[in-house]
Amino acid sequence: MSNAPARLVLDIYSSAFGYLDTVAAPAWVTCSIRWNGIDTASFALESDDRLNALLGVPGRRMVVRYRPEALLPDTVDLLSGAIYTQQGDADPRSSVRTYHVSGDFCLLDQLLGWPNPTGTISQQGDDEAFYEATGPAETAALSLINLNRARSVTPITVAASGGRGSSVAIRVRMHKLADKLFPVVGNAGVGIRLLQGDTSVVASGYVGTVQDDVLTQQDGVVASGGWVLTPPTATRVAVGGPGEGTARVWRYVTDPALEAAWGRSWEVQVDARDLKEDDPALASKMDARGHEALAEGAPKVSVSAELSETEDFQFIKRYNLGDLWPVQFVDYPEPIVDRITRIDISETADDGLKITPYLGTMEDSTEAQLVKAVSNIARSVRDMKART
């Protein structure tokens, strides 16, 4: 790349978090940071670069940092994680070795939520045993991570919660933490980050900034994309509580205003058999499960938009991951507010620095829909296994 200071800084660490070196001359670098998802980075070195020997040791870690101002030393941490995959090429015309970094958010996919997180494996109870974390989304999420982190070989420290996000109830029984925390925590308005600290990976919560300026195609920010309106999938919820046969407790939760607006009703059932019949708050807890199902089945206007940087719309200076922005499409009557859920950053010799943010989570390609469907099936299978 050019002789100017690199905007993406790649620092190499040992598995014990000791700084080793900095990649000074990558052939190219690309990374993606994600809202409540696994960040990724890839880079290539010439095959004769001295750092290949250092990077080839299993367990090497990397912190990718971004320099907002080309001529200033200040940097912002984008992601951290282990170098999981390395690639070489037998083609004699190829002279590079490629490295791939998987962000530390993946630790939540490698850690289970135990029903008795302070007990031994033989103290986890029967098939009705669950651990439930309730309260603001940030607090519930960080609490579950904190209770289960001791079993992780990669040391994890949990930051204090700011109590942000709407109230949630997250129940685990040997489920992957990632399966149960997301998208519940994100839907409650909270992002969870895992970034390398001095001696451990630090898990913390954050919320994006709510922006007022409306993004449009005319101002050059909205490069491409669209919107989709989906109807409700639940307006009436039959919540089945504890008890057997005719003695089983039931509650019925409805949204008559939504039914009046759409002129239809959608009835679903939710199992709350895990609740205790003698719980004085049984009715309110069952109703809460019903309202949870109504929230999940509410109508949605989703945005999928690729954005472009302009002089007034730049990473760190004007926008960041998780920020909520209103966007106006010419064929929709009012601005739609959605979140920046991914930011791709690359630096190459030919193109220099390129940053592409993405707004929303709508997946419109057949391949993306298939991947999402398969992921949901796999999650459901894991959920059933955890219940047996």
- Judge whether 365 lies within some domain: no
- Judge whether 97 lies within some domain: yes
- Judge whether 185 lies within some domain: yes
Quote the CA–CA distance of 276 and 130 in Å, as a whole number: 12
Do the bridges between strand 300-307 and strand 250-254 make them parallel or antiparallel, or are there none, so unpaired?
Answer: unpaired
CATH code (residue 27): 2.30.110
On the question of pLDDT at 362 being above 80, the answer is: no
- Whether 356 and 340 have beta carbons less than 8 Å apart is answered as no
- Judge whether 375 lies within some domain: no
193 lies in the same domain as 288: no
Percent of all residues in the chain with a pLDDT value above 70, rounded to a whole number? 91
| Mean pLDDT computed over 341-364 | 88
311 lies in the same domain as 220: yes
Quote the CA–CA distance of 78 and 287 in Å, as a whole number: 41
251 lies in the same domain as 313: no
- Judge whether 356 lies within some domain: no
136 lies in the same domain as 197: yes
On the question of pLDDT at 258 being above 90, the answer is: yes
136 lies in the same domain as 64: no
Look at residue 358 and give its three-state secondary structure: strand
| Mean pLDDT computed over 300-328 | 94
Please name the residues in contact with 123: beta carbons below 8 A apart, sequence gap of 6 or more: 116
121 lies in the same domain as 169: yes
177 lies in the same domain as 201: yes
| Mean pLDDT computed over 349-375 | 67
94 lies in the same domain as 197: no
Range of the domain at 321: 215-230+300-342
68 lies in the same domain as 159: no
- Judge whether 13 lies within some domain: yes
Rounded to 5 degrees, φ, ψ at 171 are -110, 135
Quote the CA–CA distance of 138 and 203 in Å, as a whole number: 11
In this structure, the chain runs to a length of: 388
- Judge whether 368 lies within some domain: no
Angle ∠(5,11,13) on CA atoms, nearest 5: 165
Percent of all residues in the chain with a pLDDT value above 90, rounded to a whole number? 76
Do the bridges between strand 215-216 and strand 324-328 make them parallel or antiparallel, or are there none, so unpaired?
Answer: parallel
Predicted pLDDT of residue 60: 96
Rg (CA), the chain: 24
222 lies in the same domain as 244: no
Q: The pTM is what?
A: 0.85
Quote the CA–CA distance of 98 and 18 in Å, as a whole number: 23
Q: Which long-range contacts does 81-86 make (Cβ < 8 Å, 24+ apart)?
A: 81/39, 81/41, 81/106, 82/15, 83/55, 86/55, 86/56
Predicted pLDDT of residue 368: 44
197 lies in the same domain as 219: no
Q: How many domains, in total, are found in the chain? A: 4
Quote the CA–CA distance of 202 and 195 in Å, as a whole number: 5
Predicted pLDDT of residue 300: 87
- Judge whether 377 lies within some domain: no
Categorize the per-residue pLDDT at 377 as very low, low, confident or very high, splitting at 50, 70 and 90: very low
Rounded to 5 degrees, φ, ψ at 142 are -65, -30
Please name the residues in contact with 238: beta carbons below 8 A apart, sequence gap of 6 or more: 250, 251, 252, 267, 268, 269, 270
| Mean pLDDT computed over 99-106 | 97
Angle ∠(379,381,386) on CA atoms, nearest 5: 95
Q: Tens digits of per-residue pLDDT, 172-207?
A: 999 999 999 999 999 899 999 999 999 999 999 999
153 lies in the same domain as 222: no
Angle ∠(284,287,289) on CA atoms, nearest 5: 115
